[in-house]
Structure 1
Amino acid sequence: MLFRTEIDIPKADFEIQPAEQMLFVGSCFADNLGRRFVENRFRATVNPFGVMYNPASILHTVEKCAGVHPRVAVFTLGTNHVYILKETGEIVDNCQKRPQRLFEERELSVEECAAYLQKAIDLLKQRGLKDETSEDEAFDTGLKVIITVSPIRYAKYGYHGSQLSKATLQLAADRLVKANPGVSSYFPAYEIMNDELRDYRFYKEDMLHPSDQAVEYIWEKFRETYFGKAAELFLEDWRPIREALGHKPFNPDSEEHQKFIARTEERKRWFEKKYGLVAG
Protein backbone atom coordinates (compact mmCIF):
# COMPACT_ATOMS: atom_id res chain seq x y z
CA MET A 1 0.00 0.00 0.00
CA LEU A 2 1.37 3.39 -1.02
CA PHE A 3 0.77 6.42 1.20
CA ARG A 4 2.39 9.05 -1.01
CA THR A 5 3.30 9.71 -4.61
CA GLU A 6 6.99 9.98 -5.47
CA ILE A 7 8.43 12.10 -8.25
CA ASP A 8 10.24 9.99 -10.82
CA ILE A 9 13.51 11.82 -11.49
CA PRO A 10 15.69 10.28 -14.21
CA LYS A 11 19.42 10.17 -13.61
CA ALA A 12 21.10 13.14 -15.30
CA ASP A 13 23.23 12.55 -18.39
CA PHE A 14 26.19 14.24 -16.67
CA GLU A 15 27.73 14.15 -13.22
CA ILE A 16 28.75 16.96 -10.89
CA GLN A 17 32.44 16.40 -10.17
CA PRO A 18 34.36 16.72 -6.88
CA ALA A 19 35.15 20.36 -6.04
CA GLU A 20 33.12 21.39 -9.08
CA GLN A 21 33.10 25.01 -10.25
CA MET A 22 29.46 26.04 -9.73
CA LEU A 23 27.24 29.10 -9.79
CA PHE A 24 23.91 29.31 -7.96
CA VAL A 25 21.62 32.20 -8.83
CA GLY A 26 17.99 32.70 -7.93
CA SER A 27 15.53 32.73 -5.07
CA CYS A 28 16.35 32.02 -1.43
CA PHE A 29 16.03 28.34 -2.29
CA ALA A 30 19.21 28.79 -4.36
CA ASP A 31 20.83 29.96 -1.11
CA ASN A 32 19.58 26.88 0.73
CA LEU A 33 20.82 24.47 -1.93
CA GLY A 34 24.03 26.35 -2.71
CA ARG A 35 24.98 26.46 0.96
CA ARG A 36 25.12 22.65 0.99
CA PHE A 37 27.73 22.76 -1.76
CA VAL A 38 29.78 25.48 -0.05
CA GLU A 39 29.75 23.56 3.23
CA ASN A 40 30.97 20.47 1.38
CA ARG A 41 33.92 22.25 -0.26
CA PHE A 42 32.61 22.54 -3.81
CA ARG A 43 33.89 25.69 -5.49
CA ALA A 44 30.44 27.25 -5.49
CA THR A 45 29.49 30.90 -5.88
CA VAL A 46 26.04 31.51 -4.40
CA ASN A 47 23.95 34.61 -5.20
CA PRO A 48 26.96 36.96 -5.18
CA PHE A 49 24.72 40.03 -5.59
CA GLY A 50 21.91 38.87 -3.35
CA VAL A 51 18.76 36.85 -3.90
CA MET A 52 17.32 37.14 -7.41
CA TYR A 53 13.72 36.05 -7.79
CA ASN A 54 12.89 36.50 -11.47
CA PRO A 55 14.60 35.47 -14.75
CA ALA A 56 15.57 39.04 -15.66
CA SER A 57 17.40 39.51 -12.37
CA ILE A 58 19.10 36.13 -12.80
CA LEU A 59 20.45 37.39 -16.12
CA HIS A 60 21.63 40.60 -14.45
CA THR A 61 23.66 38.58 -11.93
CA VAL A 62 25.25 36.46 -14.67
CA GLU A 63 26.16 39.65 -16.55
CA LYS A 64 27.86 41.07 -13.46
CA CYS A 65 29.71 37.81 -12.66
CA ALA A 66 32.38 38.36 -15.30
CA GLY A 67 35.02 36.64 -13.19
CA VAL A 68 32.94 33.56 -12.39
CA HIS A 69 33.36 30.67 -14.83
CA PRO A 70 31.23 27.73 -13.72
CA ARG A 71 31.00 24.37 -15.40
CA VAL A 72 27.64 23.86 -13.68
CA ALA A 73 25.14 26.68 -13.15
CA VAL A 74 21.94 26.30 -11.15
CA PHE A 75 19.12 28.77 -11.78
CA THR A 76 16.32 28.70 -9.21
CA LEU A 77 13.27 30.56 -10.48
CA GLY A 78 11.07 32.17 -7.84
CA THR A 79 8.57 34.36 -9.66
CA ASN A 80 7.73 35.94 -13.01
CA HIS A 81 6.82 39.24 -11.31
CA VAL A 82 9.24 42.11 -11.86
CA TYR A 83 9.46 45.71 -10.67
CA ILE A 84 10.20 48.41 -13.23
CA LEU A 85 11.59 51.78 -12.22
CA LYS A 86 9.21 54.25 -13.90
CA GLU A 87 11.92 56.86 -14.37
CA THR A 88 14.14 54.61 -16.50
CA GLY A 89 11.84 51.79 -17.62
CA GLU A 90 14.41 49.25 -16.37
CA ILE A 91 13.75 46.13 -14.34
CA VAL A 92 15.36 46.49 -10.92
CA ASP A 93 16.74 43.62 -8.87
CA ASN A 94 16.11 45.32 -5.55
CA CYS A 95 13.81 48.22 -4.75
CA GLN A 96 16.21 49.25 -1.94
CA LYS A 97 13.28 50.32 0.26
CA ARG A 98 12.37 53.15 -2.09
CA PRO A 99 8.68 54.22 -2.23
CA GLN A 100 6.41 51.84 -4.13
CA ARG A 101 5.04 54.71 -6.24
CA LEU A 102 8.38 54.84 -8.08
CA PHE A 103 7.84 51.34 -9.49
CA GLU A 104 5.47 49.47 -11.73
CA GLU A 105 4.90 45.77 -11.11
CA ARG A 106 4.53 43.56 -14.16
CA GLU A 107 4.38 39.84 -14.95
CA LEU A 108 6.81 38.42 -17.49
CA SER A 109 5.37 36.11 -20.13
CA VAL A 110 6.62 32.58 -20.75
CA GLU A 111 8.49 33.87 -23.81
CA GLU A 112 10.14 36.70 -21.88
CA CYS A 113 11.22 34.40 -19.03
CA ALA A 114 12.73 31.92 -21.48
CA ALA A 115 14.48 34.72 -23.41
CA TYR A 116 16.18 36.16 -20.30
CA LEU A 117 17.37 32.73 -19.21
CA GLN A 118 18.60 31.89 -22.71
CA LYS A 119 20.71 35.05 -22.70
CA ALA A 120 22.21 33.97 -19.38
CA ILE A 121 23.10 30.55 -20.80
CA ASP A 122 24.56 32.04 -23.98
CA LEU A 123 26.70 34.42 -21.94
CA LEU A 124 28.11 31.58 -19.83
CA LYS A 125 28.81 29.62 -23.02
CA GLN A 126 30.70 32.56 -24.52
CA ARG A 127 32.90 32.81 -21.45
CA GLY A 128 33.59 29.09 -21.70
CA LEU A 129 34.72 29.47 -25.28
CA LYS A 130 37.15 32.20 -24.24
CA ASP A 131 38.54 29.94 -21.55
CA GLU A 132 39.09 27.20 -24.12
CA THR A 133 41.87 29.28 -25.64
CA SER A 134 43.56 29.88 -22.31
CA GLU A 135 46.16 27.71 -20.64
CA ASP A 136 44.10 27.41 -17.46
CA GLU A 137 42.89 23.82 -17.32
CA ALA A 138 40.68 24.46 -14.28
CA PHE A 139 37.79 25.49 -16.49
CA ASP A 140 35.80 23.03 -18.57
CA THR A 141 33.86 24.39 -21.56
CA GLY A 142 31.18 21.68 -21.23
CA LEU A 143 28.68 24.00 -19.52
CA LYS A 144 25.70 22.39 -17.79
CA VAL A 145 22.73 24.42 -16.56
CA ILE A 146 20.22 23.06 -14.07
CA ILE A 147 16.88 24.84 -13.98
CA THR A 148 14.57 24.49 -11.01
CA VAL A 149 11.48 26.28 -9.73
CA SER A 150 11.54 27.34 -6.11
CA PRO A 151 9.00 25.47 -3.97
CA ILE A 152 8.28 28.61 -1.94
CA ARG A 153 4.82 30.04 -2.57
CA TYR A 154 4.15 33.78 -2.63
CA ALA A 155 1.15 34.60 -0.44
CA LYS A 156 1.17 38.27 -1.48
CA TYR A 157 -0.01 37.28 -4.98
CA GLY A 158 -2.81 35.17 -3.57
CA TYR A 159 -2.43 31.41 -3.89
CA HIS A 160 -4.05 31.28 -7.31
CA GLY A 161 -1.74 34.06 -8.49
CA SER A 162 1.23 32.23 -7.03
CA GLN A 163 0.28 29.08 -8.92
CA LEU A 164 -0.02 31.02 -12.17
CA SER A 165 3.42 32.51 -11.60
CA LYS A 166 4.96 29.09 -10.94
CA ALA A 167 3.21 27.64 -14.00
CA THR A 168 4.70 30.40 -16.16
CA LEU A 169 8.16 29.58 -14.84
CA GLN A 170 7.65 25.85 -15.39
CA LEU A 171 6.65 26.44 -19.00
CA ALA A 172 9.65 28.70 -19.53
CA ALA A 173 11.96 26.11 -17.96
CA ASP A 174 10.53 23.39 -20.20
CA ARG A 175 11.07 25.57 -23.26
CA LEU A 176 14.65 26.26 -22.20
CA VAL A 177 15.50 22.59 -21.66
CA LYS A 178 14.12 21.67 -25.09
CA ALA A 179 16.05 24.50 -26.74
CA ASN A 180 19.35 23.48 -25.12
CA PRO A 181 19.67 19.70 -25.37
CA GLY A 182 22.76 18.35 -23.67
CA VAL A 183 23.20 21.62 -21.78
CA SER A 184 20.06 22.30 -19.73
CA SER A 185 18.17 19.96 -17.44
CA TYR A 186 15.20 20.43 -15.13
CA PHE A 187 15.22 19.44 -11.47
CA PRO A 188 11.69 19.24 -9.96
CA ALA A 189 12.20 20.87 -6.55
CA TYR A 190 8.77 22.51 -6.73
CA GLU A 191 7.11 19.23 -7.60
CA ILE A 192 8.90 17.33 -4.82
CA MET A 193 7.75 19.85 -2.23
CA ASN A 194 4.17 20.00 -3.43
CA ASP A 195 3.67 16.30 -4.15
CA GLU A 196 6.01 14.06 -2.18
CA LEU A 197 6.13 16.41 0.82
CA ARG A 198 2.58 17.77 0.73
CA ASP A 199 2.18 17.90 4.49
CA TYR A 200 2.50 20.98 6.68
CA ARG A 201 5.03 19.24 8.92
CA PHE A 202 7.53 19.82 6.12
CA TYR A 203 7.05 23.60 6.27
CA LYS A 204 8.39 26.26 8.58
CA GLU A 205 6.09 28.19 10.90
CA ASP A 206 4.96 30.53 8.13
CA MET A 207 3.52 27.51 6.26
CA LEU A 208 5.22 28.76 3.08
CA HIS A 209 8.94 28.00 3.33
CA PRO A 210 10.27 24.43 3.38
CA SER A 211 11.57 23.21 6.73
CA ASP A 212 15.22 22.28 7.18
CA GLN A 213 14.15 18.63 6.95
CA ALA A 214 12.43 19.27 3.61
CA VAL A 215 15.47 21.10 2.22
CA GLU A 216 17.67 18.21 3.33
CA TYR A 217 15.34 15.76 1.56
CA ILE A 218 15.47 17.77 -1.67
CA TRP A 219 19.28 17.96 -1.35
CA GLU A 220 19.40 14.16 -1.15
CA LYS A 221 17.25 13.89 -4.27
CA PHE A 222 19.54 16.36 -6.02
CA ARG A 223 22.54 14.22 -5.10
CA GLU A 224 20.87 11.08 -6.42
CA THR A 225 20.21 12.85 -9.72
CA TYR A 226 23.53 14.60 -10.36
CA PHE A 227 26.22 12.89 -8.28
CA GLY A 228 28.27 9.90 -9.31
CA LYS A 229 30.73 7.77 -7.36
CA ALA A 230 33.49 10.39 -7.54
CA ALA A 231 31.36 13.15 -5.95
CA GLU A 232 30.03 10.77 -3.29
CA LEU A 233 33.60 9.74 -2.38
CA PHE A 234 34.50 13.44 -2.19
CA LEU A 235 31.67 13.99 0.31
CA GLU A 236 32.67 10.92 2.28
CA ASP A 237 36.29 12.11 2.49
CA TRP A 238 35.23 15.58 3.64
CA ARG A 239 32.50 14.57 6.15
CA PRO A 240 34.75 13.51 9.09
CA ILE A 241 36.96 16.55 8.55
CA ARG A 242 33.97 18.90 8.55
CA GLU A 243 32.64 17.26 11.72
CA ALA A 244 36.03 17.56 13.39
CA LEU A 245 36.32 21.24 12.45
CA GLY A 246 32.90 21.86 13.99
CA HIS A 247 33.74 20.07 17.23
CA LYS A 248 33.27 22.17 20.39
CA PRO A 249 35.77 21.07 23.06
CA PHE A 250 35.15 21.21 26.81
CA ASN A 251 38.73 22.36 27.36
CA PRO A 252 40.14 24.09 24.26
CA ASP A 253 43.52 24.67 25.92
CA SER A 254 44.17 21.05 26.80
CA GLU A 255 47.07 19.14 25.26
CA GLU A 256 44.68 16.49 24.00
CA HIS A 257 42.62 19.08 22.10
CA GLN A 258 45.74 20.65 20.60
CA LYS A 259 46.74 17.25 19.25
CA PHE A 260 43.20 16.83 17.89
CA ILE A 261 43.50 20.16 16.06
CA ALA A 262 46.86 19.16 14.60
CA ARG A 263 45.47 15.83 13.33
CA THR A 264 42.45 17.58 11.84
CA GLU A 265 44.60 20.16 10.05
CA GLU A 266 46.79 17.38 8.68
CA ARG A 267 43.72 15.54 7.33
CA LYS A 268 42.45 18.80 5.85
CA ARG A 269 45.74 19.39 4.02
CA TRP A 270 45.61 15.81 2.70
CA PHE A 271 42.07 16.39 1.44
CA GLU A 272 42.97 19.68 -0.25
CA LYS A 273 46.01 18.16 -1.92
CA LYS A 274 44.04 15.14 -3.14
CA TYR A 275 41.34 17.27 -4.77
CA GLY A 276 43.47 20.23 -5.87
CA LEU A 277 41.86 22.70 -3.47
CA VAL A 278 43.56 25.81 -2.15
CA ALA A 279 43.92 25.80 1.61
CA GLY A 280 42.03 28.49 3.41
Structure 2
Amino acid sequence: MDFRTPVTITEPSFRIEPLEQILFVGSCFADNIGQRFVENKFRATVNPYGVMYNPVSILHTVMRTSDTFPVAFFTLGTNHVYRLKETGEIVDNCEKRPHHLFQEETLTVSQCADYLRQAIALLQSRSADVEVVLTVSPIRYRKYGYHGSQLSKATLLLAADEVAKMPNVHYFPAYEIVNDELRDYRFYAADMLHPSEQAVDYIWERLCETYLSDRARQFLSEWQPVKQALGHKPFAPESEAYRTFMNKTMLKVEELRKKYGNFAL
Protein backbone atom coordinates (compact mmCIF):
# COMPACT_ATOMS: atom_id res chain seq x y z
CA MET A 1 0.00 0.00 0.00
CA ASP A 2 1.13 3.54 -0.75
CA PHE A 3 0.24 6.09 1.95
CA ARG A 4 1.30 9.24 0.11
CA THR A 5 1.02 10.79 -3.33
CA PRO A 6 4.49 11.61 -4.69
CA VAL A 7 4.60 14.67 -6.94
CA THR A 8 5.93 14.02 -10.43
CA ILE A 9 8.47 16.62 -11.54
CA THR A 10 8.97 17.41 -15.21
CA GLU A 11 12.42 16.43 -16.48
CA PRO A 12 14.36 19.65 -17.16
CA SER A 13 16.37 20.40 -20.29
CA PHE A 14 19.41 21.61 -18.34
CA ARG A 15 21.53 20.67 -15.34
CA ILE A 16 23.34 22.70 -12.70
CA GLU A 17 27.08 22.02 -12.48
CA PRO A 18 29.28 22.09 -9.35
CA LEU A 19 29.98 25.58 -7.99
CA GLU A 20 27.56 27.08 -10.54
CA GLN A 21 26.64 30.74 -10.28
CA ILE A 22 22.92 30.99 -9.39
CA LEU A 23 20.55 33.83 -8.53
CA PHE A 24 17.77 33.32 -5.97
CA VAL A 25 15.11 35.98 -5.62
CA GLY A 26 11.81 35.78 -3.79
CA SER A 27 10.16 34.94 -0.51
CA CYS A 28 11.89 33.61 2.59
CA PHE A 29 11.52 30.15 1.06
CA ALA A 30 14.03 31.31 -1.57
CA ASP A 31 16.33 32.20 1.33
CA ASN A 32 16.01 28.67 2.76
CA ILE A 33 16.81 26.87 -0.48
CA GLY A 34 19.36 29.41 -1.65
CA GLN A 35 21.27 29.13 1.61
CA ARG A 36 21.66 25.41 1.07
CA PHE A 37 23.36 26.14 -2.25
CA VAL A 38 25.63 28.64 -0.49
CA GLU A 39 26.53 26.10 2.21
CA ASN A 40 27.41 23.61 -0.51
CA LYS A 41 29.78 26.04 -2.26
CA PHE A 42 27.67 26.96 -5.26
CA ARG A 43 28.21 30.60 -6.16
CA ALA A 44 24.70 31.54 -5.14
CA THR A 45 23.47 35.11 -4.79
CA VAL A 46 20.44 35.03 -2.49
CA ASN A 47 18.05 37.98 -2.25
CA PRO A 48 20.81 40.61 -2.50
CA TYR A 49 18.34 43.42 -1.65
CA GLY A 50 16.27 41.56 0.90
CA VAL A 51 13.35 39.16 0.75
CA MET A 52 10.99 39.87 -2.17
CA TYR A 53 7.49 38.46 -1.87
CA ASN A 54 5.71 39.47 -5.07
CA PRO A 55 6.49 39.56 -8.81
CA VAL A 56 6.97 43.35 -8.86
CA SER A 57 9.63 43.19 -6.16
CA ILE A 58 11.33 40.30 -7.94
CA LEU A 59 11.54 42.50 -11.04
CA HIS A 60 12.98 45.34 -8.93
CA THR A 61 15.79 43.08 -7.68
CA VAL A 62 16.65 41.93 -11.20
CA MET A 63 16.72 45.56 -12.34
CA ARG A 64 19.20 46.41 -9.58
CA THR A 65 21.39 43.35 -10.15
CA SER A 66 23.86 43.80 -13.01
CA ASP A 67 25.58 40.40 -12.82
CA THR A 68 24.89 37.63 -15.31
CA PHE A 69 23.72 34.22 -14.16
CA PRO A 70 23.37 30.93 -16.05
CA VAL A 71 20.54 29.91 -13.69
CA ALA A 72 17.98 31.91 -11.70
CA PHE A 73 15.26 30.80 -9.27
CA PHE A 74 12.23 33.04 -8.64
CA THR A 75 10.09 32.07 -5.63
CA LEU A 76 6.66 33.70 -5.55
CA GLY A 77 5.14 34.32 -2.14
CA THR A 78 2.09 36.54 -2.69
CA ASN A 79 0.22 38.61 -5.26
CA HIS A 80 -0.40 41.35 -2.66
CA VAL A 81 1.57 44.59 -3.15
CA TYR A 82 1.78 47.89 -1.29
CA ARG A 83 1.72 51.16 -3.19
CA LEU A 84 3.08 54.31 -1.56
CA LYS A 85 0.24 56.82 -1.89
CA GLU A 86 2.56 59.81 -2.13
CA THR A 87 4.42 58.57 -5.23
CA GLY A 88 2.22 55.78 -6.62
CA GLU A 89 5.25 53.46 -6.48
CA ILE A 90 4.93 49.80 -5.50
CA VAL A 91 7.43 49.34 -2.69
CA ASP A 92 9.46 46.26 -1.84
CA ASN A 93 9.43 46.94 1.89
CA CYS A 94 7.23 49.24 3.94
CA GLU A 95 10.18 49.76 6.33
CA LYS A 96 7.83 49.88 9.33
CA ARG A 97 6.26 53.12 8.13
CA PRO A 98 2.60 53.78 9.11
CA HIS A 99 0.06 51.63 7.28
CA HIS A 100 -2.01 54.65 6.23
CA LEU A 101 0.80 55.76 3.90
CA PHE A 102 0.20 52.74 1.68
CA GLN A 103 -2.56 51.28 -0.43
CA GLU A 104 -2.71 47.48 -0.53
CA GLU A 105 -3.57 45.92 -3.90
CA THR A 106 -3.75 42.45 -5.37
CA LEU A 107 -2.20 41.69 -8.74
CA THR A 108 -4.16 39.72 -11.34
CA VAL A 109 -2.82 36.61 -13.03
CA SER A 110 -1.93 38.59 -16.14
CA GLN A 111 -0.17 41.30 -14.12
CA CYS A 112 1.90 38.72 -12.21
CA ALA A 113 2.83 37.01 -15.47
CA ASP A 114 3.77 40.31 -17.10
CA TYR A 115 6.12 41.35 -14.29
CA LEU A 116 7.77 37.93 -14.36
CA ARG A 117 8.23 38.12 -18.13
CA GLN A 118 9.88 41.51 -17.72
CA ALA A 119 12.30 40.12 -15.12
CA ILE A 120 13.13 37.14 -17.32
CA ALA A 121 13.60 39.33 -20.40
CA LEU A 122 16.05 41.49 -18.47
CA LEU A 123 18.07 38.46 -17.42
CA GLN A 124 18.02 37.19 -21.01
CA SER A 125 19.27 40.53 -22.31
CA ARG A 126 22.41 39.96 -20.22
CA SER A 127 22.73 36.23 -20.86
CA ALA A 128 20.62 34.79 -23.66
CA ASP A 129 20.90 31.19 -22.42
CA VAL A 130 19.87 31.82 -18.81
CA GLU A 131 17.62 29.11 -17.36
CA VAL A 132 14.87 30.38 -15.04
CA VAL A 133 13.07 28.17 -12.53
CA LEU A 134 9.78 29.42 -11.04
CA THR A 135 8.48 28.16 -7.71
CA VAL A 136 5.55 29.11 -5.50
CA SER A 137 6.30 29.27 -1.81
CA PRO A 138 4.28 26.82 0.32
CA ILE A 139 4.22 29.31 3.21
CA ARG A 140 0.65 30.41 3.98
CA TYR A 141 -0.35 33.95 4.93
CA ARG A 142 -2.57 33.95 7.99
CA LYS A 143 -3.18 37.72 7.77
CA TYR A 144 -5.14 37.26 4.52
CA GLY A 145 -7.35 34.61 6.05
CA TYR A 146 -6.77 31.05 4.83
CA HIS A 147 -9.21 31.40 1.93
CA GLY A 148 -7.52 34.64 0.90
CA SER A 149 -4.11 32.96 1.17
CA GLN A 150 -5.27 30.19 -1.14
CA LEU A 151 -6.61 32.72 -3.64
CA SER A 152 -3.24 34.45 -3.62
CA LYS A 153 -1.39 31.18 -4.20
CA ALA A 154 -3.82 30.21 -6.95
CA THR A 155 -3.10 33.49 -8.74
CA LEU A 156 0.63 32.85 -8.52
CA LEU A 157 0.28 29.25 -9.67
CA LEU A 158 -1.70 30.31 -12.73
CA ALA A 159 0.81 33.03 -13.55
CA ALA A 160 3.77 30.67 -13.13
CA ASP A 161 2.08 28.09 -15.34
CA GLU A 162 1.62 30.67 -18.07
CA VAL A 163 5.18 32.03 -17.88
CA ALA A 164 6.70 28.53 -17.77
CA LYS A 165 5.57 28.10 -21.39
CA MET A 166 8.41 30.43 -22.40
CA PRO A 167 11.67 28.90 -23.69
CA ASN A 168 14.23 28.19 -20.95
CA VAL A 169 11.66 28.75 -18.20
CA HIS A 170 10.73 25.90 -15.86
CA TYR A 171 8.43 25.24 -12.93
CA PHE A 172 9.48 23.38 -9.78
CA PRO A 173 6.52 22.21 -7.66
CA ALA A 174 7.65 23.14 -4.14
CA TYR A 175 4.11 24.23 -3.26
CA GLU A 176 2.65 20.93 -4.44
CA ILE A 177 5.28 18.83 -2.66
CA VAL A 178 4.37 20.35 0.71
CA ASN A 179 0.61 20.37 0.16
CA ASP A 180 0.10 17.15 -1.79
CA GLU A 181 3.04 14.89 -0.98
CA LEU A 182 3.98 15.73 2.61
CA ARG A 183 0.49 16.95 3.58
CA ASP A 184 0.83 16.72 7.36
CA TYR A 185 1.30 19.25 10.16
CA ARG A 186 4.37 17.36 11.36
CA PHE A 187 6.12 18.88 8.34
CA TYR A 188 5.40 22.41 9.58
CA ALA A 189 7.28 24.60 12.05
CA ALA A 190 5.77 25.58 15.40
CA ASP A 191 3.73 28.40 13.82
CA MET A 192 1.93 25.80 11.64
CA LEU A 193 2.52 28.06 8.61
CA HIS A 194 6.16 27.65 7.58
CA PRO A 195 7.57 24.31 6.41
CA SER A 196 9.73 22.59 9.00
CA GLU A 197 13.45 22.09 8.56
CA GLN A 198 12.71 18.48 7.62
CA ALA A 199 10.28 19.58 4.90
CA VAL A 200 12.79 22.07 3.46
CA ASP A 201 15.46 19.35 3.53
CA TYR A 202 13.15 17.06 1.56
CA ILE A 203 12.41 19.76 -1.02
CA TRP A 204 16.15 20.39 -1.30
CA GLU A 205 16.67 16.68 -2.00
CA ARG A 206 13.98 16.66 -4.70
CA LEU A 207 15.42 19.80 -6.25
CA CYS A 208 18.92 18.29 -6.32
CA GLU A 209 17.59 15.11 -7.92
CA THR A 210 15.88 17.22 -10.57
CA TYR A 211 18.38 19.91 -11.48
CA LEU A 212 21.88 18.88 -10.43
CA SER A 213 24.16 17.15 -12.90
CA ASP A 214 25.74 13.81 -12.01
CA ARG A 215 29.01 15.67 -11.43
CA ALA A 216 27.32 18.16 -9.11
CA ARG A 217 25.72 15.36 -7.09
CA GLN A 218 29.11 13.65 -6.89
CA PHE A 219 30.62 16.88 -5.59
CA LEU A 220 27.94 17.07 -2.89
CA SER A 221 28.65 13.51 -1.77
CA GLU A 222 32.38 14.28 -1.51
CA TRP A 223 31.86 17.69 0.09
CA GLN A 224 29.49 16.59 2.88
CA PRO A 225 32.08 14.81 5.09
CA VAL A 226 34.51 17.69 4.57
CA LYS A 227 31.79 20.19 5.48
CA GLN A 228 31.03 18.25 8.65
CA ALA A 229 34.72 18.13 9.55
CA LEU A 230 35.10 21.89 9.06
CA GLY A 231 32.07 22.48 11.30
CA HIS A 232 33.43 20.24 14.06
CA LYS A 233 33.92 22.02 17.40
CA PRO A 234 36.90 20.46 19.19
CA PHE A 235 37.22 20.01 22.94
CA ALA A 236 40.94 20.82 22.71
CA PRO A 237 41.60 23.13 19.71
CA GLU A 238 45.28 23.49 20.64
CA SER A 239 45.94 19.75 20.75
CA GLU A 240 48.18 17.91 18.31
CA ALA A 241 45.35 15.54 17.46
CA TYR A 242 43.12 18.42 16.35
CA ARG A 243 45.90 19.99 14.28
CA THR A 244 46.44 16.67 12.54
CA PHE A 245 42.69 16.34 11.97
CA MET A 246 42.48 19.83 10.42
CA ASN A 247 45.55 19.27 8.25
CA LYS A 248 43.93 16.15 6.80
CA THR A 249 40.69 18.04 6.29
CA MET A 250 42.44 20.87 4.41
CA LEU A 251 44.18 18.33 2.19
CA LYS A 252 40.72 17.01 1.24
CA VAL A 253 39.60 20.58 0.53
CA GLU A 254 42.53 21.06 -1.84
CA GLU A 255 41.70 17.79 -3.57
CA LEU A 256 38.14 19.00 -4.15
CA ARG A 257 39.40 22.33 -5.48
CA LYS A 258 41.69 20.59 -7.95
CA LYS A 259 38.85 18.33 -9.09
CA TYR A 260 35.94 20.79 -9.25
CA GLY A 261 37.36 24.32 -9.16
CA ASN A 262 38.32 26.84 -6.52
CA PHE A 263 35.90 27.82 -3.77
CA ALA A 264 36.18 29.86 -0.60
CA LEU A 265 35.73 28.42 2.88
Using the size of structure 1 for normalisation, the TM-score is 0.92
State whether structure 2 residue 172 is matched by structure 1 residue 187: yes
| Letter of the 2:111 counterpart | E
For the pair 1:261 / 2:260, whether they are aligned, the reply is: no
The answer to whether the 8 Å contact 1:5/1:196 transfers is yes
Given that 2:29 and 2:137 are in contact with CA atoms closer than 8 Å, whether structure 1 keeps it comes out as: yes
The corresponding residue for 2:5 is: 5
List aligned pairs for 1:154-233, cutoff 5 A: 154-178=141-165, 180-181=166-167, 183-233=168-218
Amino acid at match of 1:184: V
Determine which of 222, 234, 237 is the counterpart of 1:252: 237
Deviations 1:93-116 (A, max 9, x none): 000000000000000111111111
- What are the superposed Cα offsets for residues 79-128 of structure 1, whole Å, 9 maximum, x if unpaired? 00000000000000000000000000000111111111111111111111
**2:210 corresponds to which letter in structure 1?**
T
Partner Cα separation in structure 1 for residue 20 and residue 208 of structure 2: 13
Q: Which residue is 2:109 aligned to?
A: 110
Whether contact under 8 Å (2:82, 2:102) holds in the other structure is yes
Which residue type is aligned with residue 160 of structure 1?
H
| C-alpha RMSD over aligned residues | 1.1
Give 3-state SS (helix, strand or coil) of 1:9's partner. Answer: coil
Corresponding position of 1:26: 26
Q: Letter of the 1:41 partner, please give it.
A: K
Whether 1:144 and 2:143 are equivalent positions in the alignment is no
* Equivalence for 1:121: 120
1:7-46 deviations in Å (ceiling 9; x for gaps): 1112212111111110000000000100110000001000
1:38 corresponds in structure 2 to 38
Shift in Å at residue 278 of structure 1?
4.1
Q: Deviations over 1:186-216 (max 9, x none)?
A: 0010011011111111101111000000001
**Alpha-carbon contact 1:53-1:78 (below 8 Å) kept:** yes
Contact 2:19–2:263 at 8 Å: present in 1 too? Answer: no
| Number of the residue aligned with 2:16 | 16
* CA–CA separation in structure 1 for the residues paired with 2:117 and 2:203: 26
Please give the alpha-carbon distance, in whole angstroms, between the structure 2 residues aligned to 1:278 and 1:193. Answer: 33
Determine the C-alpha separation between the residues in 2 that align with 1:149 and 1:160: 17
C-alpha separation in 1, matches of 2:17 and 2:110: 33
* Residue ranges of structure 2 left out of the alignment (5+ in a row): none
Say whether residues 1:239 and 2:238 are aligned partners. no
List per-residue Cα deviations over 1:134-161 (Å, max 9, x = no partner): xxxxxxx521000000000001001110
- The answer to whether the 8 Å contact 1:272/1:279 transfers is no
Asked whether the 8 Å contact 1:81–1:105 carries over to 2, the reply is yes
Contact 2:41 2:263 survives alignment (8 Å): no
Is the 8 Å Cα contact of residues 11 and 224 (structure 1) preserved in structure 2? no
Range 25-34 or range 241-250, more displaced: 241-250
Whichever residue aligns with residue 164 of structure 2, its letter is V
Secondary structure of the corresponding residue to residue 25 of structure 1: strand
Q: Residues 222-266 of structure 1: CA distance to partner in whole angstroms, max 9, x if unpaired?
A: 111112211111111211211110111111100111121122122
Distance in 1 between the 2:217 and 2:263 partners? Answer: 20
Structure 1 distance, partners of 2:142, 2:50, is 21
Q: Find the counterpart in structure 2 of residue 96 from structure 1.
A: 95
Number of aligned residue pairs: 265
Alignment correspondent of 1:132: none
Contact 1:81/1:108, CA 8 A, preserved across alignment: yes
Distance 1:147 1:262 in 2: 42
Could you say what secondary structure the match of 1:260 adopts? helix
Report if the CA contact (8 A) 1:269-1:279 is conserved: no
Q: Matches of 1:10 and 1:83 in 2, distance apart?
A: 34
